[in-house]
Amino acid sequence: MTRKEQLEAVLNELVDSMGGEVVAAVLATPEGKLITSVTGRTSVKGNRFAAMGATILATAKKMGKLVEAGAAQEATVKLEGELFYIKQAGPKAILVVVVREGAFIGLLEIEMERAAERVEEILG
């Protein structure tokens, strides 16, 4: 299995674990370049989620440094009807997941942590 196939499998497992609540799951570089994505029920392309997620997480990191609270490792944005979660997945990737409002957030956080750890292992 290629590295890209392994990463796609991680995203698919994350999506499957959430029982249809995931609108999109994206892996990107910290600079916002798309690595791979699963964007089933949205017209927004994965590269846009990648760029937006990287921008949001970078802004959160800068904010953390400005208030001397340390660098942010994750960020959440509540949209109208959806939630946008961004999590660092090692030094080489970020994980961006968009879920429907009302999704089980505790489960999402557990699954995102597991996915982030696997991504870090795959990318080294």
What tokens does 62 get? 């800068």
66 residue type, one letter: L
DSSP 92: T
pTM check: above 0.85: yes
For residue range 20-37, list pLDDT tens digits in order.
899 899 999 999 999 999
Separation between Cα atoms, residue 78 and residue 32, nearest integer Å: 20
Q: What is the pLDDT of residue 31?
A: 96
Q: Does domain 3-123 have CATH number 3.30.450.30?
A: yes
Spell out the domain ranges in the chain.
3-123
